[in-house]
């Protein structure tokens, strides 16, 4: 296992092989040079190392050689032989993709000129390469070495150009983007030459708003209700499972696109069909739940109120869980009669004082709250695999006799005492 930041990427590796105007990996010059450099390489690791060292050592950093010309299109960077960190990262991705290896973009927010009276933040660009032989992403920084900067190819631990000092507000973004950040492209495409007096202040200071939202989605634990609110805020479909909502938001933050109209149409037709079925069919004790699109709405409330002879019937948690389970398993045999039996049994148990074991939903809610509180502990951000550590602490809580299963900072204190480098 390669030691380094826990990187988050898209599940679709094809996106990390795409060619574009900026990352023109199909350009003849790119292809010819990449093949020439890697013709004697036997493995993907040898190819990646060879291409990385070429871009790092043979393509100069524009600021190091005081070349004011702005380059950013990969083939142009190769032809001119120089570029800043972003430009060199564009070239490395294009060359690596041209030999069929997935590659993407990573970013760091660093302090520049910290010894001056007015230090400021700048964005720094580097790369991540997917090694199929290791089933893992590794980060490489082809900025170019110089006194005080030493970036190397390593399969043991990351050796990047700059350390990230979180105490000073610097940030190491762990996401692997398939496309260069929008703020970077805007900056480079609108610049023709660097002003030597203010060249670093011409650079982006942070990721574009869309990428920051994507980062926020990854870093912060969200309840489903929060995800629904975010979807509605961006005028996206707001129904579905939690995983579907996250996937929908990621697509929007990464591409600015919503789900295809075909997908939206199918979902809307399905919802309309179910609501139409229930509006046309009267509810009886023999009404099938799934085939008829049964919902806990006013029509269902009126039926149960009449059946149990109460003024206003209240649906129970157990009834809702039963319907969700039937939907999950596509059980078309379940009827309204089953819901009546579940309700009756639940009321009987309550009257007898029988305590039911916690349902899966209740257990899930406790776990969700535990993870949320755990993630808000600032110390957990330094952990390599936060969810794995949370799982171990949760297991300790479950094994204890404590009835209140909530996260406490002391749990992490004990864990870090025995596992200081998780």
- Look up residue 52 and give its two tokens: 């990385």
For the chain, the average pLDDT equals 83
Q: Is 394 helix (H, G, I), strand (E, B) or coil?
A: helix
pLDDT in tens, 309-326: 888 899 988 888 888 888
- Residue 108 CA to chain centroid, in angstroms? 17
For residue 111, what are the β-bridge partners?
Answer: 121
Cβ neighbours for 245, distance < 8 A, ≥ 6 positions apart: 224, 227, 228, 230, 231, 238
pLDDT for residue 151:
96
Q: How confident is the model at residue 355 (pLDDT cuts 50, 70, 90)?
A: very low
Interval 264-285 mean pLDDT: 60
pLDDT for residue 156:
86
- How many Å apart are CA 22 and CA 368, to the nearest integer? 41
Model pTM greater than 0.75?
no
Query: Quick one: which H or E segment has residue 109?
Result: strand 103-112
Q: Is 9 helix (H, G, I), strand (E, B) or coil?
A: coil
In this structure, of 42-46, 97-101, 139-143, 257-261, the range with the lowest mean pLDDT score is 257-261
pLDDT in tens, 51-79: 999 999 999 999 999 999 999 999 999 99
DSSP calls for 254-293: HHS--S-HHHHHHHHHHHHHHHHHHHHSPP-TT-BTTTTT
pLDDT for residue 269:
52
Q: Look at the block and give the residue holding tokens 């149960």.
A: 304
- Look up residue 148 and give its two tokens: 């005080």
* Residue 128 phi, psi dihedral angles, 5° rounding: -130, 135
Q: What is the DSSP letter of 115?
A: T
Whether pLDDT at 223 is above 70: yes
Q: Is 67 helix (H, G, I), strand (E, B) or coil?
A: coil
Q: Look at the block and give the residue holding tokens 């938001």.
A: 249
> Which CB contacts under 8 angstroms, 24+ apart, belong to 386-389?
386/6, 388/422, 389/415, 389/422
Q: Is 173 helix (H, G, I), strand (E, B) or coil?
A: strand
Longest CA pairwise span in the chain (Å): 86
Higher-scoring residue by pLDDT: 299, 420? 299
End-to-end Cα separation, the chain, in angstroms:
13
- How many Å apart are CA 60 and CA 58, to the nearest integer? 6
- Look up residue 286 and give its two tokens: 């023999």
Interval 102-107 mean pLDDT: 95
Interval 384-392 mean pLDDT: 78
Whether pLDDT at 280 is above 70: no
Cα torsion 327, 330, 331, 335 to 10°: value is 50
Whether pLDDT at 160 is above 70: yes
């Amino acid at each position: 296992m390669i030691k380094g930041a826990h990187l988050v990427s898209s599940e679709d590796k094809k996106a990390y092989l795409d060619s574009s105007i900026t990352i023109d990996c199909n350009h003849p010059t790119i292809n010819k040079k990449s093949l020439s450099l890697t013709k004697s390489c036997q493995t993907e690791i040898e190819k990646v190392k060879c291409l990385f060292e070429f871009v790092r050592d043979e393509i100069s950093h524009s600021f190091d050689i005081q070349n004011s010309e702005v380059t950013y299109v990969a083939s142009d960077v190769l032809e001119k032989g120089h570029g800043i960190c972003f430009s060199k990262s564009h070239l490395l991705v294009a060359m690596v993709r041209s030999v069929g290896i997935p590659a993407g973009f990573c970013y760091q927010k660093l302090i520049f000129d910290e010894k001056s009276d007015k230090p400021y933040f700048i964005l720094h660009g580097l790369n991540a390469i997917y090694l199929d032989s290791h089933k893992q992403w590794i980060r490489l920084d082809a900025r170019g070495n110089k006194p005080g900067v030493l970036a190397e190819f390593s399969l043991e631990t990351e050796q990047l150009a700059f350390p990230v000092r979180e105490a000073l507000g610097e940030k190491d973004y762990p996401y692997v983007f398939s496309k260069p950040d929008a703020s970077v492209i805007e900056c480079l495409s609108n610049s023709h030459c660097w002003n030597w007096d203010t060249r670093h202040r011409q650079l982006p200071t942070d990721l574009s708003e869309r990428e920051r939202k994507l980062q926020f989605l990854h870093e912060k634990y969200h309840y489903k209700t929060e995800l629904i609110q975010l979807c509605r805020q961006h005028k996206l479909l707001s129904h579905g499972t939690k995983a579907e909502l996250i996937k929908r938001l990621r697509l929007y933050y990464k591409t600015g696109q919503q789900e295809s109209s075909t997908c939206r149409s199918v979902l809307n037709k399905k919802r309309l069909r179910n609501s139409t079925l229930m509006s046309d069919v009267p509810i009886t004790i023999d009404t099938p739940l799934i085939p008829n699109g049964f919902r806990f709405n006013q029509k269902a409330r009126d039926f149960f109120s009449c059946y149990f002879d109460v003024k206003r019937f209240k649906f129970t948690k157990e009834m809702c869980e039963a319907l969700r389970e039937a939907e999950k398993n596509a059980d078309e045999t379940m009827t309204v009669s089953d819901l009546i039996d579940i309700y009756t049994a639940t009321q009987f148990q309550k009257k007898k004082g029988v305590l039911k074991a916690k349902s899966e939903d209740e257990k899930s809610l406790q776990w969700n709250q535990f993870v949320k509180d755990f993630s808000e502990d600032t110390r957990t951000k330094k952990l390599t695999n936060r969810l794995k550590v949370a799982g171990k602490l949760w297991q300790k809580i479950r094994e204890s006799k404590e009835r209140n299963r909530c996260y406490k900072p002391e749990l992490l204190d004990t864990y870090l005492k025995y596992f200081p480098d998780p």
